[in-house]
Amino acid sequence: MSVFLQPIYTQTAPGNSSEITFNNIPQNFTDLLIVVSARAGIAALSDGIIAKFNGSVSNFSFLSVEGNGSAASSGSSATTANIARTNGSTATANSYASSVIYIPNYSRGNTKQITVSTVSETNATTTFMNFYSIFWNDRSPITSISFPQNSGTNYTSDSTFTIYGVSNIYDTGTPLAPTLGAVTDLGGVASFAFTPNDTATGQTADYYSVQDIAIMGTPAYGNVSPITFPITTGVTYNAPVKAVNVIGTSTSAMSGSLTSYNNFASIATQVITSNTSSIVFRNIPQYYSHLQLRVYARGSTNATSGYPYHIYNGDTSANYSSHFMTGNGITTAAAAYVNSAQPLSMNFPCANSSANIFGYAVIDIMDYTSTNKFKTSRIMNGWDNNSTGNCFVFSHVWNSFAPISSITLVGWDIANFVSGSHVALYGIG
């Protein structure tokens, strides 16, 4: 660790994006310092950049002091916070707003106080300079920071965002090389296990990284083992784990050639051994493109069949809609559940159906990490009893831009999922 600023990463806006994100922020600095130089397409002299930590714009409040060249003022918000400024398209050409953001104790279990100074200086009479004091009422360590442009317009292609780590321990030497462990194909990502060798005082690593030595590309960071490194199917990688501090970098042994053809990864399975009213998958990894749930189930209620449903991120509000079409061997039918808190999404045999019969559902959830889409899933489902049965096709939507981090299957109409039921969650790269 060092008293010097340790550059972690710089992103230059590609020109077609209104949000820049730093993920997997190393956790073993003391503080973070972020420098932003930005201009955006908004038809204005200046506009704001919204504060967003760990994928959330919630639990922020802020105070500001502002000068605009003719007056000084103060403002506040109890619900959202601006964390920086951009110049807009009507500002003097080639001028960019400059912001410095300091986040102390970002990786601790305390609420966060952030200080910001930002200026939007041009040749105009009216310009803007602000001091912000931002409070994030959340004890989570900050692992990702996003910079969504307030009006949703794209940053210009020379806008830059640089994140630095700051620590309060002085390093005297390069960290010792970590020992590479197992490298595991998880389908779309590879897991690099390693053992730190931080035994010498003053030679500890600030963070660890994985980056292919030939392709280079975006590194993956972490401060504990393992580090998950995104991989593309059919591409060959060869990478070490690096230990980094301000003095230098040391490198583990190479992984050796790593080529994955596995784009369908098993994340977790829950096997039901007694009546269970709900089944929950939490902490869903965010590095896949899509998810698939395979549900093999039977219900406990005293009926021939019934309808469970699924919700996301613990949201129990009427923030869902679902539709289905079905055939029962005699007739076809369809139904809709709009703006519902119980968005029916499956149908399974229950206690009054013949014994040893279970139903099956395959739920495909596309783009589950998108912050620009409501979350849509498609469900194929059915069961047969030899004398009765049903084929169902469901559609289901969650009216939220939040990435899906948890999925709950609620028994509801079937009361409980019975022993012998199991649900498997897969990630698709």
Cβ-based nearer residue to other proteins, 50 or 391: 391
Cα 213 vs. chain centroid, distance in angstroms?
A: 26
Give CA separation, 262 vs 39, 184, 258, 292, in Å. Answer: 41, 11, 12, 15
Residue type, 136: W
187, 56 contact by CB (below 8 A): no
- Tell me how far apart the alpha carbons of residues 172 and 199 are, in angstroms, rounded to a whole number: 13
Cβ-based nearer residue to other proteins, 134 or 361: 361
Residues 341-400 that bind other proteins (CB under 8 A): 356-360, 362, 380-391, 393
At its nearest, how many Å lie between other proteins and the CB of residue 414?
Answer: 16
269 is a contact residue toward other proteins (CB under 8 A) = yes
Question: 305: exposed, middle or buried (C-beta count within 10 Å: 0-12, 13-18, 19+)?
Answer: buried
407 is a contact residue toward other proteins (CB under 8 A) = no
Q: Which two tokens stand for residue 390?
A: 């049903």
Candidate list 60, 161, 394, 426; residue touching other proteins; CB under 8 A: 426
At its nearest, how many Å lie between other proteins and the CB of residue 269?
Answer: 4
At its nearest, how many Å lie between other proteins and the CB of residue 102?
Answer: 42
Give CA separation, 212 vs 23, 90, 175, 195, 244, in Å. Answer: 18, 42, 20, 19, 16
At its nearest, how many Å lie between other proteins and the CB of residue 256?
Answer: 7
Residues 39-78 that bind other proteins (CB under 8 A): none
Residues 287-316 that bind other proteins (CB under 8 A): 294, 296
Give CA separation, 371 vs 19, 52, 273, in Å. Answer: 10, 12, 36
Candidate list 25, 101, 183, 272; residue touching other proteins; CB under 8 A: 183
| Region from 37-45, 74-82, 125-133, 262-270 binding other proteins, contact rule CB under 8 A | 262-270
> What 3-state class would DSSP assign to 126?
coil
| Region from 35-43, 123-131, 256-264, 364-372 binding other proteins, contact rule CB under 8 A | 256-264
Size of site (CB under 8 A) for other proteins: 51
Q: Which contacts qualify for 59-63: CB closer than 8 Å, 24 or more apart? A: 59/136, 59/137, 59/138, 60/134, 60/135, 60/136, 60/137, 61/134, 61/135, 61/137, 62/132, 62/133, 62/134, 62/135, 63/132, 63/133
335 is a contact residue toward other proteins (CB under 8 A) = no
Question: 172: exposed, middle or buried (C-beta count within 10 Å: 0-12, 13-18, 19+)?
Answer: exposed
At its nearest, how many Å lie between other proteins and the CB of residue 82?
Answer: 42
Cβ-based nearer residue to other proteins, 71 or 214: 214
Angle (nearest 5°) at CA 387 between 385 and 392 = 55
To which residue do tokens 């967003």 refer?
A: 52
Q: Does residue 308 have a cis bond before it (omega within 30 degrees)?
A: no
Candidate list 7, 14, 256, 314; residue touching other proteins; CB under 8 A: 256
424 is a contact residue toward other proteins (CB under 8 A) = yes
4 is a contact residue toward other proteins (CB under 8 A) = no
Residue 140 is classified by DSSP as S
Mask for 187-226, x = binds other proteins (CB under 8 A): x---------------------------------------
At its nearest, how many Å lie between other proteins and the CB of residue 417?
Answer: 14
Residues forming contacts to other proteins in the complex (CB under 8 A) are 182-185, 187, 256-259, 261-262, 264-269, 294, 296, 325-332, 356-360, 362, 380-391, 393, 420, 422, 424-426
